[in-house]
Amino acid sequence: MMKKIAVLAGDGIGPEIIAEALKVLDCLKAECGLPIEIEQALIGGAAYDAMGTPLPAQTLKLAQQSDAILLGAVGGPKWEPLDYAARPERALLGLRAELNLFANLRPAILYPHLVDASTLKPDIVSGLDIMIVRELTGGIYFGRPRGVRVNQSGEREGFNTLVYSESEIRRIAQSAFRIAQKREHKLCSVDKANVLECTELWRNVVTEVAKEYADVELKHLYVDNAAMQLVRCPKQFDVLLTDNLFGDILSDCAAMLTGSIGMLPSASLDKDNKGMYEPIHGSAPDIAGKGIANPLATILSLAMLFRYSFGDAESACYVERAVTSALDAGYRTADIHSEGTAKVGTSEMGSAIVDALRASIH
- Number of residues engaging ligand NAD in binding (CB under 6 A): 21
How far are the Cα atoms of 20, 151, 299, 331 from residue 352, in angstroms, in the given order?
10, 61, 12, 8
How far are the Cα atoms of 112, 166, 175, 240, 253 from residue 128, in angstroms, in the given order?
9, 32, 22, 13, 13
Interacting residue with ligand NAD among 274, 281, 307, 332 (CB under 6 A): 281
H-only helix segments in the chain: 14-32, 44-51, 57-65, 88-99, 122-125, 166-181, 197-210, 223-232, 244-257, 296-304, 313-328, 346-361
Contact indicator for 312, 329 with CB cutoff of 8 Å: no
Interacting residue with ligand NAD among 21, 287, 323, 344 (CB under 6 A): 287
Task: Tell me whether residue 259 or residue 282 sits nearer to ligand NAD (CB atom).
Answer: 282
Does the footprint of ligand NAD cover residue 20 (CB under 6 A)? Answer: no
Q: At what angle do helices 313-328 and 346-361 cross, to 10 degrees?
A: 120
Known catalytic membership, residue 271? no
- Binding residues for ligand NAD restricted to 63-122, rule: CB under 6 A: 73-76, 89, 92
Least distance from ligand NAD to the Cβ atom of residue 189, Å: 25
Does the footprint of ligand NAD cover residue 291 (CB under 6 A)? Answer: no
Catalytic annotation, pick one of 129, 141, 186, 270: 141
Does the footprint of ligand NAD cover residue 294 (CB under 6 A)? Answer: yes
Least distance from ligand NAD to the Cβ atom of residue 50, Å: 18
Task: Tell me whether residue 74 or residue 172 sits nearer to ligand NAD (CB atom).
Answer: 74
Does the footprint of ligand NAD cover residue 348 (CB under 6 A)? Answer: no
Q: At what angle do helices 296-304 and 14-32 cross, to 10 degrees?
A: 50
Contact indicator for 193, 202 with CB cutoff of 8 Å: yes
Catalog residues that contact ligand NAD under the rule CB under 6 A: 13, 73-76, 89, 92, 261-262, 278, 281-287, 293-294, 297, 335
